[in-house]
Structure 1
């Protein structure tokens, strides 16, 4: 039944019909969150919801359509409830604080949110774009008001909205998903201290002067050659085959998704026999896991080569973030692959981010020890940095397939360092 054919039939305006539709959406949200979109059938949804399969098609034409409706329902639920919380809010700073506190409370009640958003990139890229725009754009008005009133510095509003959204999304994931708790008050306090420090004007300071940061010549970023040890034959031919299989898997998983990819497709793309695959990997999952581990190792190796050149903590953080964006552009598939890992191997997904968090914490602790940075919770600040850089990278590199523009980077660094740095009261 086509969308056009159904347009006069849905949504049913009876209470029973609306109840059935909501039950299907709630059931699909739960199953997509646990099994994944590609691993779920319409039969799975109807059986768990306790409705006939034919009834499903009175409401939705496909699995894709109900997935879209879930995202729309999530967005509508968030904004409807947020609007009530915003009643009586009188200024941009208070508005932002209310939004952060509300989100951390709301996301705790949406345990499947992170998994659903992660899958959106593969289910429908344009749906992901819509979701991102919807969640980012609601910060525009408050930021504009803050800039016009002189309360906030004149930074690019779109960039700041992405940073703000990335921070609360990642902190929300840290507590709402990983811990099944609402973010503690001290975490919220440190997040707001960081964000307001980044946005607010400082008396007696040139708040919008150009940010000068060290460049990383592109010629210095080399794709590392690593000798993987997992089931890898030590002959030159075996090493080349292993590498070809990993590259074929990276491209196929990124374009089709893990659950839609077969070993045959990987071997065909790599130009090797199917039997050869099993000389190197025991399963589709093993090559996926090895791919994530290899990308993580390669990134850490190359990042270390760059950061040892830094003369101070601030410079190291600049190099780290610039390198991250360059690496993401080279390995554009990385973003999609890592987000799929939450459904393939959640422990691997957690370890990937735990390693990144640990790496950032070392830099932050060093900056606090020297007195360059405020004494804020380092884990919270690490999650904030990963969240904001991740969403800015997603916007430009994943959705637009472009490098992050310099003017965007400059404002990102202004936000970060104004947010982290100690304020010298004597100016």
Structure 2
């Protein structure tokens, strides 16, 4: 565990009230970083939006950099939980892919700051950016291997497939979750699943 991780762990809230305050700061940081960007945002901007005292910030985070990294991890957890809830009870892997893509686009529309924050993390906190997608890939690989064992999909390299499917979700989320929100997530997911299941061969 790094020094930063140890410091962050030592500040984990011990009470429900403390967790609520920390979440308020993360919610405020999502808005501030999403609207203004990392460099233009100050700790005062975050505490002002959260309506907490400046000193309260340092009960939970040591710096702007630390809350940004925590936010990237927090948002990753949020989207994974959001999708997991919506794919529960899927009939097979392709059904799970359909429901997962619908859920991802819906999440992108509900959390429009996600893309700016994650993309900025490439430059502000590249290790957090990499970890964000690696966490997705780990779960994806496991799900694909299990689906292959059940005979729901043909055999193939789970690592390559996981990253390809993640890439598709990320850019469909950007296009139809942020830039163009006219089509329903279900319509978009149906077209994507048709390509996944049938490929591009005529």
What TM-score, normalized to structure 1? 0.43
Q: Structure 2 vs 1, CA of residues 98 and 50 (structure 1 numbering), >3 Å: closer, same or farther? A: same
Q: Deviations over 1:230-282 (max 9, x none)?
A: xxxxxxxxxxxxxxxxxxxxxxxxxxxxxxxxxxxxxxxxxxxxxxxxxxxxx
Question: Who is 2:125 aligned against?
Answer: 124
Q: Secondary structure at the match of 2:59?
A: coil
Name the structure 1 match of 2:200: 420
- Cα distance in 2 for partners of 1:149, 1:104 equals 28
Q: Do 2:80 and 2:136's aligned partners in 1 also have CA atoms closer than 8 Å?
A: no
Q: Which runs of 5+ in 1 are unaligned?
A: 198-418, 423-427
Q: Any residues of structure 2 matched to 1:333-412 within 5 Å, and which?
A: none
- Secondary structure at 1:38's aligned position in 2? coil
Q: Do structure 1's residue 138 and structure 2's residue 136 form an aligned pair? A: no
- Alpha-carbon distance, 1:146 to partner: 3.5
Residues in 1 aligned to 2:48 and 2:111: alpha-carbon distance in whole angstroms:
22
TM-superposed CA distance for 1:138, in Å, is 1.9
Greater Cα radius of gyration, structure 1 or 2: 1
Match of 1:168, SS state, is helix
User: 1:74 — aligned with what?
Assistant: 75
The structure carrying a bigger helix percent of its residues is 2
Are the aligned partners of 2:26 and 2:67 in contact in 1 as well (CA < 8 Å)? yes
Following TM superposition, by how much is the alpha carbon of 1:5 offset from its aligned partner in structure 2, in angstroms?
6.7
Per-residue displacement from partner, 1:396-419 (whole Å, max 9, x unpaired)?
xxxxxxxxxxxxxxxxxxxxxxx1
- 1:112 equivalent to 2:117? Answer no
The alpha-carbon deviation at position 162 of structure 1 amounts to 0.7
SS in 2 for 1:57: helix
Structure 2 counterpart of 1:24: 25
Partner of 2:55: 54
The 1:6/1:134 distance shift into structure 2, 3 A limit, reads: closer
Structure 2: distance between partners of 1:101 and 1:125: 28
What is the match of residue 333 of structure 1? none
Residue from 10, 13, 24 that aligns with 1:11: 13
Q: Deviations over 1:347-398 (max 9, x none)?
A: xxxxxxxxxxxxxxxxxxxxxxxxxxxxxxxxxxxxxxxxxxxxxxxxxxxx
How many matched pairs? 199
SS at match of 1:155: coil
Mapped partners of 1:99, 1:178: distance in 2: 20
- Is 1:84 matched with 2:85? yes
Distance apart, 1:58 and its partner CA: 0.4
The aligned residue for residue 189 of structure 1 is 190
Structure 1 distance, partners of 2:184, 2:20, is 33
- Structure 1 runs of 4+ off > 6 angstroms? none
1:45 deviates by 1.3
Q: Scaled by the length of structure 2, what TM-score is found?
A: 0.87
Gaps of at least 5 residues in structure 2 are none
CA RMSD of aligned residues (A): 2.3
In the TM superposition, what whole-angstrom CA distance separates every residue of 1:17-73 from its partner, at most 9, and x where no partner exists?
333221111111111111111221112212222222111100101111111221222
Q: 1:130 to 1:95 in 2, by over 3 A?
A: same
Distance apart, 1:96 and its partner CA? 1.7
Q: Distance in 2 between matches of 1:81 and 1:96?
A: 14
Distance 1:137 1:7 in 2: 23
Q: Distance in 2 between matches of 1:48 and 1:67?
A: 15
- The 8 Å contact of residues 94 and 193 in structure 2, kept in 1 or not, is answered as no
